[in-house]
């Protein structure tokens, strides 16, 4: 038999695996093995078992050893990795690497470990001293315990273990690390969700359809309860579920919800701030089958669950579901494939479906289910649009008098307000009053934002590149000293709020103030316990909150983003505004205020009227008309480094020639990327099948982004 093996070794040229021949050991697909590679022994995964030798295979060696006795990845997982490598133009090693902690993958392969047990006729009285007694208590009645577990529990023990082994009191034995579950997951359900009639109907509809379901439920309709019921079913059947959320650190509340449903020791919460050791431990726990529910962001899709039966993608429309490093996958597409191969159910939940999901629901690829009412029939809030062009700000810019009054009302009634502003820092830019140019970052050519340190000292920061600079004394263009910080950021808003509402307790949440999950947790706790009156921050931080005391939600400037020349700009603004609407009046009547310079923009009007379906239908028509996704496909090629412009120009010509020759309808454009200041170039190919144009091109020095979200 022949075996294709992919290793995590970075040697060039073997990123798609090598074929080995073996007749004595017969590993199964997904099993870890040890093979030789250029005079070294390395560990890898069997991705394919072949009857016949591949044409291209040469100088075949044997397999040295099979590690453990069962696969570490399932067939559906390996098939998904193969699909990803192909679809996203990545190597198989890159695709498989998603399923493992950072290389070497062997850190999570089953190992042979040393462990100890007491000799059958040990006289316990021979054990002396604290350490030996602790060891006795820990090992007594147990058949064999690994040294790792002993040290983990009792601290450093090597001399004690050695001494007792020498005396014949302990017996040392090597054993293969167990790959068997330690728990019966069926008993991990703690409580039954109790669904409303509407939620029950939706739950049953989802259960009775084998297609991926798009659960379109307005904010506060209780999508989480529907997920909970589906997850509980899966666990009762002894199988496993995956719940994907856009940003794990902001999902505290929903995690708390699931901890009431499932025993904590049967849940694994995966996020980017786990240490390597924690990641490896979670990986093994999941692979062993001791986890019934994995909750995590994007990369949790690749948790090594053996019996995956349900994937839920919450807030399906969120842009964080797109990976911006190779393989540049999208969670929605990849989950569809993994669910199909695993025979698992896929549920996508959102109040503002992506146009991709919306079009699939419309054409029947997805099964479409709606939750139209908020829990307990709570009404959606009244929305007021305030035209900033007619507002008189006085010294409280960017707050209109109407908004200030609305906040005042909340304060006097002891209710809470949430305010959004999608700009961090003190000011959005530094403007020269003489030549009227903005001070820009030399790398990106984009305007610097003005921030202040806690000492009050101002500095410049480019949010796209992270480059920081001192505030210049003179304009670099015309040497004028008349520089003015314009446009309010969150820091500025904080000082305005403090000045206007000195008695109010105000909390700020943006990525400058939030250093870890604990801070967000304490902010949410203060809001829930009504110890704060006003929470404000950037949309990305504040959206998704479920705070019953909030009766006013406001966006200070709804237009940011609308003027960008991006076909998804409107969709994004609509999503943010609808999320905003969703924050207010969840438990009592509420109000929403949208401040904008463009009160008639369709996104703003539709969000204010809660007309999501109409907005999506109109937007989909525009996309079809303009030839943009999801009506077409886009491929983005990125070129960096010296000579990028020329290289990109050549690629453009080659792609155009290919398109003409193949009768491919792709429209092909070349431009520098927005934030690179001319150092990075992109070629956008847009049409019904632009991907097929890549096949004959040599793109080794090019970043390939299939179905990009970012196209600027
Ligand atoms: P969504 O995710 O759809 O915006 P949530 O799942 O956060 O909505 O639910 C909104 C609020 O309503 C939450 O506070 C939740 O606890 C409550 N809720 C919804 N359905 C139920 C239910 N069946 N039983 C008890 N509380 C519910
Ligand atoms: Zn100037």
Instruction: Write the DSSP string, 135-197.
Output: HHHHHTT-S-EEHHHHHHHH---HHHHHHHHHTTSEEEEEEEPP-S-SS-GGGGB-------H
Half-sphere exposure of 613 (CA within 13 A, CB side): 10
Residue from 224, 261, 374 to probe ligand 1 pocket by mutation (most atoms less than 8 Å from CB): 224
Long-range contacts of 455-464 (CB under 8 A, 24+ apart): 458/426, 458/485, 460/430, 461/425, 463/424, 464/674, 464/675
Closest ligand 1 atom, CA of 582? 4
Q: Where does the pLDDT of residue 481 fall: very low under 50, low under 70, confident under 90, or very high at 90 and above?
A: confident
Ligand nearest to the CA of 484: 2
44-58, 183-197, 568-582, 619-633: least confident range = 44-58
Residue ranges of alpha helices (H) inside 262-330 are: 276-288
Of the candidates 336, 362, 185, the residue with the CA atom closest to the CA atom of residue 268: 185
A 10 A CB-CB count for 209 gives 14
Using one digit for the tens of pLDDT, what is the confidence trace for 75-127? 999 999 999 999 999 999 999 999 999 989 989 998 888 898 888 776 666 77
> Which is nearest to 391 in space by CA: 630, 589, 593?
593
Report which of residues 377 and 486 the model is more confident about: 377
196 lines ligand 1 (CB under 6 A): yes
Tell me how far the alpha carbon of residue 476 lies from the centroid of ligand 2, in angstroms: 7
Q: Is 505 in a helix, a strand, or coil?
A: coil
Give the distance (Å) from ligand 2 centre to CA of residue 675: 22
Higher pLDDT, 371 or 440: 371
Comparing 24 with 666, the larger pLDDT belongs to 666
The average pLDDT across 665-680 equals 85
| Residue 213 CB-density burial (10 A; 0-12 exposed, 13-18 middle, 19+ buried) | buried
More confident residue, 119 or 331: 331
**Ligand 1 site, residue 192, Cβ cutoff 6 A:** no
Pocket test for ligand 1, best of 203, 220, 315, 351 (most atoms within 8 A of CB): 220
Highest mean pLDDT among 7-11, 235-239, 255-259, 459-463: 235-239
395-408 pLDDT per residue, tens: 888 899 999 999 99
Task: Tell me what pLDDT residue 573 has.
Answer: 87
Nearest alpha carbon, ligand 1 atom 15: 222
Mean pLDDT across the chain, nearest whole number? Answer: 88
- Residue 544 in contact with ligand 1 by CB distance below 6 A: no
The CA-CA-CA angle for residues 212, 217, 219, to 5°, reads 140
Ligand 1: which atom is nearest the Cα of residue 221? 3
Nearest-ligand number for the alpha carbon of 434: 2
How many Å apart are CA 211 and CA 366, to the nearest integer?
6
Fold designation for 633-706: Alpha-Beta Plaits (3.30.70)
Task: For residue 498, count other CB atoms closer than 10 A to its CB.
Answer: 11
Q: Is the CB of 350 under 6 A from ligand 1?
A: no
Distance in angstroms (rounded) separating the CA atoms of residues 354 and 616 = 8
3-state secondary structure string, 9-74? CCCCCCCCCEEEECCCCCCCCCCEEEEEECCEEEEEEEEEEECCCCCCCCCCCEEEEECCCCCCCC
Between the two ends of the chain, the Cα-to-Cα distance in Å is: 49
Give yes or no for a contact between 288 and 182, defined as CB atoms under 8 angstroms apart: yes
CB 219 near ligand 1, within 6 Å: yes
Taking residues 66-70, report their average pLDDT: 87
Q: What is the pLDDT of residue 494?
A: 84
In whole angstroms, give the CA distance from residue 562 to residue 574. Answer: 10
User: How much is the pLDDT for 453?
Assistant: 79
Which among 229, 268, 228 is positioned nearest to 248, based on CA atoms? 268
Which atom of ligand 1 sits closest to the CA of residue 223?
3
At 513, is the secondary structure helix, strand, or coil?
Answer: coil
- How would you classify the pairing of strands 240-244 and 449-452? unpaired
Query: Mean of the pLDDT values across residues 208-225?
Result: 94
Which atom, in ligand 1's list, is nearest to the CA of 217?
3
Ligand 1 center–CA 375 separation, angstroms: 6
Is 546 in contact with 585 (CB distance < 8 Å)? no
Compute, in angstroms, the gap from residue 549 CA to the centroid of ligand 1. Answer: 15
**Percent of the chain predicted with pLDDT > 90:** 52
In the prediction, which pLDDT does 47 show?
Answer: 94
Residue in this structure with the two tokens 């009053």, named with its chain if needed? 433
> What per-residue confidence (pLDDT) applies to 16?
87
Q: In the 8-state DSSP scheme, what is residue 668?
A: E
Which ligand minimizes its atom distance to the CA of 350? Answer: 1
Q: How far is CA 613 from CA 103, 217, 316, in A?
A: 45, 11, 16
Give, in order, the Cα–Cα distances in Å from 709 to each of 351, 377, 569. Answer: 20, 36, 11
Provide the pLDDT confidence category of residue 445 given band limits of 50, 70 and 90: confident
Q: Is 199 in the pocket of ligand 1 (CB under 6 A)?
A: yes
Three-state secondary structure call for residue 429: strand
For residues 493 and 312, give the distance between their C-alpha atoms in angstroms, rounded to a whole number: 37
Which residue's CA is the closest to the ligand 1 atom numbered 9? 222
Query: In CATH terms, is domain 185-376 a member of 3.40.50.300?
Result: yes
Q: Quick one: average pLDDT of 189-202? A: 93
**Neighbour count for residue 70 (Cβ, 10 Å):** 13
Q: What is the maximum span of the chain, computed from C-alpha positions, in angstroms?
A: 93
DSSP category for residue 516? S
Q: Which fold has domain 2-107?
A: GIY-YIG endonuclease (3.40.1440)
The closest ligand to the CA of 432 turns out to be 2
Tell me: pLDDT of 58 over 70: no
pLDDT above 80: residue 589:
yes
| pLDDT for res 280 | 95
The CA–CA distances, whole Å, from 590 to 359, 419, 533, 637 equal 32, 14, 15, 46
Whole-angstrom CA distances from 159 to 140, 166, 301, 535 are 19, 10, 43, 56
Q: Given pLDDT bands bounded at 50, 70 and 90, which one contains residue 455? A: confident
Q: Are 583 and 376 in contact (CB under 8 A)?
A: no
Domain 382-426+488-621 top-level CATH class: alpha beta
Strand locations in 239-291, DSSP E? 240-244, 267-270
pLDDT tens digits, 338-379: 999 999 999 999 999 999 999 999 999 999 999 999 888 888
pLDDT for position 666? 93
The predicted structure's pLDDT at residue 46: 95
Q: Tell me the pLDDT band of 273, cut-offs 50, 70 and 90.
A: confident
CA of 223 to the centre of ligand 1 (A): 7
Q: What per-residue confidence (pLDDT) applies to 124? A: 65
- The CA 551 to ligand 1 mean position distance, Å, reads 17
CA of 483 to the centre of ligand 2 (A): 8
546 lines ligand 1 (CB under 6 A): yes
Is the CB of 222 inside a 6 Å radius of any atom of ligand 1? yes
Percent of the chain residues topping a pLDDT of 70: 95
- The pTM (predicted TM-score) of the whole model is 0.88
Say whether pLDDT at 57 is over 60.
no
pLDDT band at residue 561, thresholds of 50, 70 and 90? low
**pLDDT classification of 159: cutoffs 50, 70, 90:** confident
Distances (CA, A) of 378 to 93, 196, 347, 418, 524: 50, 13, 25, 19, 22
Q: Between 252-261 and 223-236, two packed helices, what is the crossing angle to 10 degrees?
A: 40
- Nearest ligand to the CA of 218 is 1
pLDDT band of 281, cuts 50, 70, 90 = very high
Report the nearest-CA residue for atom 18 of ligand 1.
222
What's the CA gap between 488 and 353, in Å, rounded? 31
**C-beta 225 within 6 A of ligand 1:** yes
The answer to whether the CB of 528 is under 6 A from ligand 1 is: no
Q: Is residue 217 lining ligand 1, measured as CB closer than 6 Å?
A: yes
- Tell the residue number behind the tokens 């890898």, with chain if given: 44
Q: Is the pLDDT of residue 685 over 90?
A: yes
Question: Of 221, 123, 220, 104, which is closest to residue 167 (Cα–Cα)?
Answer: 123
Nearest ligand, measured from the Cα of 586: 1
Q: Round the CA-based radius of gyration of the chain to a whole number and report it.
A: 29
**Residue 250 pLDDT grade (very low, low, confident, very high; cuts 50, 70, 90):** low
Query: Which atom of ligand 1 sits closest to the CA of residue 371?
Result: 3
**In the predicted structure, residue 423 carries a pLDDT above the cut 90:** no
Give 495's pLDDT tier (boundaries 50, 70, 90). confident
Element holding 228 (H helix, E strand): helix 223-236
Sorted by sequence, the CB contacts under 8 Å of residue 411 that are 6+ apart come out as: 501, 503, 504, 533
Q: Which ligand 1 atom is nearest residue 254's CA?
A: 7
Which ligand gives the minimal distance to the CA of 440?
2
Distance CA 190, CA 258 (A): 10
């Amino acid at each position: 038999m022949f075996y294709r093996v992919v290793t995590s070794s970075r040697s060039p040229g073997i990123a798609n695996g090598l074929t080995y021949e073996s007749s004595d050991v017969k590993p199964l697909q997904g099993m870890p093995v040890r093979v030789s590679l250029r005079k070294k022994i390395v560990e890898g995964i069997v991705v394919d078992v072949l009857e016949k030798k591949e044409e291209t295979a040469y100088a075949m060696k044997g397999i040295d050893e099979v590690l453990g006795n069962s696969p570490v990845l399932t067939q559906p997982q390996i098939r998904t990795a193969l699909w990803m490598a192909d679809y996203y133009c990545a190597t198989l090693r890159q695709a498989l690497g998603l399923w493992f902690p950072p290389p070497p993958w062997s850190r999570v392969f089953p190992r042979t470990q040393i462990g100890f047990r007491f000799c059958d006729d040990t006289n316990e009285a021979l054990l002396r001293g604290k350490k030996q007694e602790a060891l006795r208590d820990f090992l007594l009645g147990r058949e064999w315990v690994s040294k790792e577990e002993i040290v983990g529990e009792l601290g450093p023990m090597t001399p004690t273990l050695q001494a007792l082994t020498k005396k014949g009191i302990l017996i040392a034995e090597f054993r293969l690390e167990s790959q068997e579950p330690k728990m019966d997951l069926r008993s991990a359900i703690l409580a039954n969700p109790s669904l409303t009639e509407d939620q029950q109907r939706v739950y049953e509809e989802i259960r009775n359809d084998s297609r991926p379901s798009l659960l379109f439920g307005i904010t506060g309709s209780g999508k989480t309860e529907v997920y909970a019921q589906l997850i509980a079913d899966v666990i009762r059947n002894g199988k496993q579920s995956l719940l994907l959320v856009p940003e794990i650190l902001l999902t505290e509340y929903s995690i708390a919800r699931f901890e009431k449903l499932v025993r904590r020791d049967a849940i694994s919460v995966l996020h980017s701030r786990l240490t390597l050791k924690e990641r490896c431990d979670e990986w093994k726990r999941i692979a062993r089958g001791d986890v019934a529910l994995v909750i995590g962001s994007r990369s949790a899709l690749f948790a090594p669950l053996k019996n995956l039966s349900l994937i839920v993608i919450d807030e399906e429309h969120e842009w964080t579901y797109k990976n911006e490093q190779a393989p540049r996958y999208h969670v929605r597409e990849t989950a569809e494939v993994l669910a199909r191969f695993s025979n698992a159910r896929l549920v996508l939940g959102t109040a503002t479906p992506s146009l991709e999901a919306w079009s699939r629901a419309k054409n029947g690829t997805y099964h479409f289910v709606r939750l139209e009412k908020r829990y307990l029939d709570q009404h959606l809030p009244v929305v007021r649009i305030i035209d900033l062009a007619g507002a008189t700000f006085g010294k409280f810019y960017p707050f209109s008098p109407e908004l200030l009054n609305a906040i005042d009302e909340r304060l006097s009634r002891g209710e809470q307000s949430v305010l959004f502003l999608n700009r961090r820092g003190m000011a959005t830019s530094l403007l020269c009053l003489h030549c009227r140019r903005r001070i820009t970052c030399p790398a990106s050519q984009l305007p610097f934002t003005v921030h202040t340190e806690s000492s009050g000292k101002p500095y410049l920061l480019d949010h796209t590149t992270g480059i920081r600079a001192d505030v210049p004394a003179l304009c670099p263009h015309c040497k004028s000293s008349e520089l003015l910080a314009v446009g309010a950021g969150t820091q500025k808003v904080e000082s305005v709020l403090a000045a206007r509402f000195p008695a109010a307790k105000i909390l700020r949440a943006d990525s400058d103030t939030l250093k870890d999950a604990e801070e967000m947790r304490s902010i949410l706790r203060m809001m829930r316990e009504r110890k704060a009156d006003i929470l404000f921050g950037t949309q990305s931080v504040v959206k998704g909150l479920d705070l019953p005391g909030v009766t006013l939600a406001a966006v200070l400037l709804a237009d940011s983003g609308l003027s960008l020349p991006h076909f998804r700009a409107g969709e994004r603004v609509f999503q943010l505004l609808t999320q905003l609407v969703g924050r207010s009046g969840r438990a009592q009547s509420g109000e929403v205020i949208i401040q904008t310079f463009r009160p008639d923009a369709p996104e703003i009007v539709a969000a204010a009227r809660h007309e999501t379906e109409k907005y999506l239908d109109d937007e989909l028509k525009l996309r079809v008309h303009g030839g943009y996704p999801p009506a077409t496909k886009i491929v983005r090629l990125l070129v960096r480094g010296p000579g990028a412009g020329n290289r990109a120009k050549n690629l453009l010509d080659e792609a155009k020639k290919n398109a003409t020759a193949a009768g491919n309808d792709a429209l092909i454009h070349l431009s520098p990327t927005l934030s690179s200041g001319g150092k990075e170039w992109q070629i956008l190919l847009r049409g019904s099948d632009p991907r097929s144009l890549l096949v004959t091109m040599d793109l080794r020095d090019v970043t390939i982004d299939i179905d990009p979200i970012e196209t600027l």
